[in-house]
Chains A and B, each alone.
Chain A
Amino acid sequence: DAGVIQSPRHEVTEMGQEVTLRCKPISGHDYLFWYRQTMMRGLELLIYFNNNVPIDDSGMPEDRFSAKMPNASFSTLKIQPSEPRDSAVYFCASTDTGSRQRQYFGPGTRLTVL
């Protein structure tokens, strides 16, 4: 198994631009999580899906952030418009009920907003 795949690995953009981060979970996993990691705030859960349905988006910081999961093998996290304070590493993770809550993390996308 290739593990959780995220793209791009690095993204540099200018303030005001739209940013789309992508994630492919491990095949067969029915839970998908988006996290943000910064020095100041550590690792924060933004949103998670179960069977492609958003279950808890209380961690999404603002309306500028949105996430979708159109099918079991693909999810996006979009920021529009982006701001410098959105600069962070964004991780995607997946799991299934049989994994007893062990989450498998992708390598992350390092986002820099200038």
Chain B
Amino acid sequence: AQSVTQLDSQVPVFEEAPVELRCNYSSSVSVYLFWYVQYPNQGLQLLLKYLSGSTLVKGINGFEAEFNKSQTSFHLRKPSVHISDTAEYFCAVSDLDNAGNMLTFGGGTRLMVKP
């Protein structure tokens, strides 16, 4: 069984400042990792994913995440945020043996970008 912990439920930040949203996971097997974004009153959209290869993954809207196997982390970063990045961000994990394509989600982090 896997679990995902997003350590911060809310992250306030000023526009154009850098941001890091933290995600740690636990699993007894190798995993795929995902970040999804949910804008107000919308469904979840994929930001980026790590399947294999380079541990630094670039996604849409200038976001990137780094997979750190030893620390079982997959933190999301953006060097300069915009007001439009205000949303809820979910980290998710799926194990490589998961024939059912199931995802385990973290509790979410609400990013609040202030002018």
| Cβ contact of B42, chosen from A45, A55, A99, A107, cutoff 8 A | A107
Main secondary structure of the interface of A (DSSP, over half): strand
Main secondary structure of the interface of B (DSSP, over half): loop
Give the A interface residue count (CB, 8 A): 23
- The residue in chain A whose Cβ has the minimal distance to the Cβ of B107 is A42
Q: Is A42 within 8 A of B44, CB to CB?
A: no
Q: Is B107 within 8 A of A91, CB to CB?
A: no
> A residues touching B (Cβ–Cβ < 8 Å)?
4, 31, 33, 42-43, 45, 48, 50, 55-56, 91, 93, 95, 97, 99-103, 105-108
14 more contacts with CB within 8 A, not counting A43-B105, A43-B108, are A42-B106, A45-B102, A45-B103, A48-B101, A50-B100, A55-B100, A93-B44, A95-B101, A97-B101, A100-B32, A101-B103, A103-B44, A105-B44, A108-B43
